[in-house]
Amino acid sequence: MAITFTLNGGRQTVNVNPQTPLLWVLRDTLGLTGTKFGCGMALCGACTVQINGNAVRSCVTQVSSVAGKTVTTIEGLSADLSHPVQRAWMAEDVPQCGYCQSGQIMAAASLLAKTAKPTDADISEALRGNICRCGTYAQIRRAVHRAAEIKAGGGKA
Amino acid sequence: MSAITVVNRRSFLRTGGIGLGLLLGFTLPERSKLAAQGRRPAVAAKPGAYIHIGTDDTVTFLITKAEMGQGTVTSLSMLLAEELDCDWAKVRTEFAPVDPASYGMQGVVGSASIRSSWAPLRQAGASARVMLLEAAAHRWGADKSQLRTERGFVVGTSPNQRLSYGSLSEAASKLPLPANAPLKDPKLYSLIGKPVKRLDTRDKVSGQAKFGIDARIPGMVYASIARCPVFGGKVSSFDDTKAKAIPGVKNVLQISTGVAVVGENTWAAMQGRKALEIKWDEGPNASQNSAAISRMFADLAQKPGAVAKQTGDAEKALAATAKKLSAEYEAPYLSHAPMEPLNCTAVVRGDSCEIWASTQMQSGSRDAAAKAAGLTPENVKVNTLYMGGGFGRRARVDYVGETVEIAKAIPGVPVKLTWSREDDMQHDFYRPASYVKFGGALDAEGWPSVFTARVACPSFGAARGNGVDSTAVEGLHTLEYRIPNLTVDYHRADAGIPTSYWRAVGYTQNTFFAASFLDELAAAGGKDPVELRKRLLAESPRLLGVLEVVAAKAGWGAPPPGRFQGVAVVNNIGSFTAQVAEVSVTQGKLRVHRVVCAVDCGHVVNPAIVRQQIESGIVFGLSAALKGAITIDRGRVQQGNFDSYDVLRID
Ligand code: FES
Ligand code: FES
């Protein structure tokens, strides 16, 4: 079945089993491997993408449900790593193994789009569902605050 | 000593080829280690590791180790870049193929990458630098000793004498290799010892970093395997009618570890696998369970085991002392649960095999692939990709062998096998469960005079001649406490559950046990836990050092109201570590508010990465202490995903 949606700013049509989770369509069908598989049950956040700006777990989102919607993956967050969250992540050198980070970044970007100056409690709430087995949590928290500052400063760090 | 040579570019096999410039190859010391063990590969030595300085000033380092987040790519590059004196911003890295003739054993276990690379990588960097200096001296007709280097440039005495490494690299490549290039005075280091930014961050923030699971090979198909839920069980019979009816399923085949379903994408393969109807022969472990395992441990610990350490005569001293203490501690099996589930991609073409893997054991992966393909290791090409965590799990290569088995059955077609999270959690090689029975006694002043620990724990390593597996007793038989009568003995207690490395092994539970029991002794004798440790470690300066630092930084003895402190100190493979945890208990609920850690790990190449590793270890340890437990029922693991095996989260 043909399903059409907006993906990272462009129009995308895929012809797949409509029940296939968006995660596997992105990774296997479209080759966008920045979005990761971690649990397949909305328990870890590795597969987080944005659908119409909201952070969503793509492993439990049937591709048919995104028809006509706007999907953003880590590859589409910015063309040149200029998104405040990516800049803050680089400034804080957050990733260790890095596997969870696409999901962390997409969740953090969605938080900042809604809450310009998140508190520690806001950050915990928004990122509780994103597991990092390397334990980069302290750096993630610092980076989210920093991203908020970058954004408030009009993109200047 | 490592051999260094200037290499003819064309002699290097490398996808894409190497551009113009200086290419300096060298061999690494593991090779000579292999030779010393009489396992020297038959192939002639090849200088496989290299530094390449392109005419565009780009400096490329070939990394022979693997990266799982521990920072190897960055730290090893720092060693090369420091002595080369190049511009850090121009450094690129690539992962080397597996080639014992050039690199010896390739793998990342036992925290050894920096230790083994410290000398040879700096020497290689220094040699390349001297050649660039020489090339500039030729060009300017100057005396080499008058020239110096400066972050990717050679600088002469007159103001216009300044040439980039790139512009000198071709000329340098024609020069002979310098003998004994001098190494920098460590006081002048500009990278080593500094919190240099990681080289892999950009790719990991843009989604471009390629992990094993991200391998994409033209024409690739996808696989999922159903394995017997009981350890040691196997397929008795299966019906794949329903599986083959799932859209996108291409193929079903039995392999040594279970039944594999091949599909046109991962989802189709996983759905097909769910639709399989399999009868298992559950084998000898079908009734194994956690309670029975605990009982076996406790029973074994009734009798003396193989002696791992003995100072004084604990038995006699115990009999002669009035103030005695005993305690039993037990820790469960634990899963590694790296965020990237296990996976591997492989293709078998005629008499060759190629794999793409995220593995801690690059050499072992090559051997496993060769065995499964029925080829010699020389005919297997290994592509090392980033690991989404390893923690010891990826030191096992079971997932490589089974992928190649599938690939062999469909020759010419690349196959990517992806484990589900449930596969990963239920078919792990677990941190062993362990049981320790402690005994202790106090002298007339309340100081410990006896400390005994009897360990019952499965073993996955080879026991030494006397029956002791050091991975099971490490953290106990390595204790440096000056207690006059100290005994550690061991019972091998295998339960049919696969076990292996887990961010070290014995240290992960034994340190906790020993520190807790020591505190029980301190309390019984009315001693402060830090004071007691200081006294017992008076002759262990590095342990004493970290203990004193951590006590001071944590404000030992004066926790905020309602909070309590606990302390532990340990030497694990030469890294001396002390921690103070600040906790509170509200209605039986434990909360850890703060952990202060002091580490003395010797030479620090990159303090930011060491800090990351320590924070990471603390979070991993807290996940285990507060949340994790793998339990067994009817021979199978009861947990399957992060709902039943939760780990620490950001809050
Ligand atoms: S893979 Fe989707 S939440 Fe874990
Ligand atoms: S950086 Fe490794 S899981 Fe988060």
Distance of CA B380 to the CA centre of its chain: 24
Residue B444's φ and ψ, nearest 5 degrees, are: -60, -30
Residue B321 lies in a domain: no
Torsion of CA B264, B270, B274, B276, to 10 degrees: 40
Contacts of A48 (CB under 8 A, 6+ apart): A35, A55, A56, A57, A58, A102, A103, A104, A106, A107, A130
> Which residues have C-beta atoms less than 6 Å from ligand 2?
A 95-101, 132-134, 136; B 69, 339, 389
> Which residues have C-beta atoms less than 6 Å from ligand 1?
A 37-40, 42-47, 57, 59
Digitized pLDDT (tens) for each residue of chain A, 157 residues in all:
899 999 999 999 999 999 999 999 999 999 999 999 999 999 999 999 999 999 999 999 999 999 999 999 999 999 999 999 999 999 999 999 999 999 999 999 999 999 999 999 999 999 999 999 999 999 999 999 999 999 998 765 5
Do B219 and B156 share a structural domain?
A: no
Do B53 and B160 share a structural domain?
A: yes
Tell the residue number behind the tokens 């079945």, with chain if given: A1
Instruction: Select the residue of A40, A46, A124 nearest B651 (Cβ to Cβ).
Output: A124
Residue B118 lies in a domain: yes
Number of domains in chain B: 2
Q: Where in chain A is the domain with CATH 1.10.150.120?
A: 84-152
Residue A40 and residue B202: Cβ atoms within 8 Å? no
A2-76 homologous superfamily: Beta-grasp domain (3.10.20.30)
Distance CA B398, CA B360 (A): 12
Do B216 and B202 share a structural domain?
A: no
In B, which residues are within 8 Å of A101 by CB distance? 204-205
Distance CA B607, CA B194 (A): 6
- Shortest CA distance to B345 belongs to which of B268, B402, B260? B402
Residue B389 and residue A133: Cβ atoms within 8 Å? yes
B322 within 8 A of B443, measured Cβ to Cβ: no
B285 within 8 A of B232, measured Cβ to Cβ: yes
Do B247 and B186 share a structural domain?
A: no
CA closest to A94 among chain B residues = B201
A141 within 8 A of A86, measured Cβ to Cβ: no
Residue B496 lies in a domain: no
Host H or E run for residue B456: strand B448-457
DSSP per residue, B26-74? E--THHHHHHHTT---SSPP---EEEEEETTS-EEEEE-S--SSS-HHH
Q: Give the bridge partners for B354, in sequence order.
A: B347, B381
Which CATH number goes with the domain that contains B41?
3.30.365.10
Contacts 24+ apart (CB under 8 A), A104-107: A104/A45, A104/A48, A104/A130, A104/A132, A104/A136, A104/A140, A105/A74, A105/A77, A105/B205, A106/A48, A106/A49, A106/A50, A106/A55, A106/A72, A106/A73, A106/A74, A106/A77, A107/A45, A107/A48, A107/A55
Contacts of B541 (CB under 8 A, 6+ apart): none
Distance CA B417, CA B425 (A): 16
User: What's the pLDDT at B30?
Assistant: 44
**If you classify domain A84-152 with CATH, what class do you get?**
mainly alpha
Distance CA B430, CA B438 (A): 24
Number of A/B CB contacts below 8 angstroms equals 179
Q: Which ligand is nearest to the CA of A35?
A: 1
User: B352-357 and B380-384: which strand pairing?
Assistant: parallel
Neighbours of B100 (CB within 10 A): 22
Q: Token pair of A85, please?
A: 């969250």
Distance CA B452, CA B479 (A): 11
Q: What is the pLDDT of residues B200-232, one digit of tens each?
A: 999 999 999 999 999 999 999 999 999 999 999
pLDDT at residue B45 tops 50: no
Q: What is the pLDDT of residues B397-431, one digit of tens each?
A: 999 999 999 999 999 999 999 999 999 999 999 99
Do B369 and B404 share a structural domain?
A: yes
Residue A89 and residue B208: Cβ atoms within 8 Å? no
Q: Token pair of B469, please?
A: 């597996």
User: What's the pLDDT at B363?
Assistant: 87
Distance CA A61, CA A12 (A): 17
Contacts of A89 (CB under 8 A, 6+ apart): A95, A101, A105, A143, A147, B201, B205
- Shortest CA distance to B475 belongs to which of B448, B435, B504? B504
Residue B262 lies in a domain: yes
Average pLDDT, chain B: 88
Smallest CA–CA separation between B274 and chain A, in Å? 14
Instruction: Select the residue of A81, A97, A137 nearest B650 (Cβ to Cβ).
Output: A137
Smallest CA–CA separation between A83 and chain B, in Å? 10
Do B143 and B79 share a structural domain?
A: yes
Do B278 and B191 share a structural domain?
A: no
Instruction: Select the residue of A34, A128, A129 nearest B207 (Cβ to Cβ).
Output: A34
Distance CA A71, CA A61 (A): 12
Residue ending a domain, choose from B399, B418, B437: B418
Residue B180 lies in a domain: yes
Distances (CA, A) of A22 to A29, A32, A65, B292: 10, 11, 9, 44
A34 and B CB contact within 8 Å? yes
Residue A96 and residue B386: Cβ atoms within 8 Å? no
- Number of helices followed by number of strands (H, E) in chain A: 6, 5
Smallest CA–CA separation between A69 and chain B, in Å? 22
DSSP per residue, B265-292? SHHHHHHHHHT-EEEEE-GGGTT--HHH
For B381-525, where are the alpha helices, taking DSSP H only?
398-409, 421-426, 470-473, 506-525
Smallest CA–CA separation between B265 and chain A, in Å? 6
3-class secondary structure, B599: strand
In B, which residues are within 8 Å of A59 by CB distance? none
User: What's the pLDDT at B14?
Assistant: 35
Domain extent, residue B251, equals 212-283+342-418
Which site among B68, B204, B208 would you substitute to test the A interface, given the most A Cβ atoms closer than 10 Å to its Cβ? B204
Residue A93 and residue B338: Cβ atoms within 8 Å? no
CA closest to B209 among chain A residues = A34
Instruction: Select the residue of A39, A127, A134 nearest B389 (Cβ to Cβ).
Output: A134
Do B254 and B127 share a structural domain?
A: no
For B443-505, where are the alpha helices, taking DSSP H only?
470-473
Can you say whether the dihedral through the CA atoms of B531, B535, B537, B543 is positive or negative? positive
Distance CA B64, CA B80 (A): 13
Tell the residue number behind the tokens 């690379």, with chain if given: B117
Residue B70 and residue A136: Cβ atoms within 8 Å? no
Do B277 and B170 share a structural domain?
A: no
- Name the residue of A43, A51, A106, A130 whose CB sits within 8 Å of the most ligand 1 atoms, as the mutation to test its pocket: A43
A98 and B CB contact within 8 Å? yes
Do B225 and B198 share a structural domain?
A: no
Residue B440 lies in a domain: no
Q: What is the pLDDT of residues B162-196, one digit of tens each?
A: 999 999 988 888 888 888 889 999 999 999 999 99
Locate the ligand 1 atom nearest the alpha carbon of residue A40 and give its number: 1
User: How large is the ipTM?
Assistant: 0.96
In B, which residues are within 8 Å of A37 by CB distance? 213, 266, 341, 418
User: What's the pLDDT at B36?
Assistant: 38
Residue B495 lies in a domain: no
Do B134 and B50 share a structural domain?
A: yes
pLDDT at residue B15 tops 90: no
Q: Which ligand is nearest to the CA of A57?
A: 1
pLDDT at residue B110 tops 70: no
Q: What is the pLDDT of residues A64-76, one digit of tens each?
A: 999 999 999 999 9
A42 and B CB contact within 8 Å? no
Do B99 and B82 share a structural domain?
A: yes
User: What pTM did the predictor assign?
Assistant: 0.91
Residue B129 lies in a domain: yes
Distance CA B343, CA B341 (A): 6
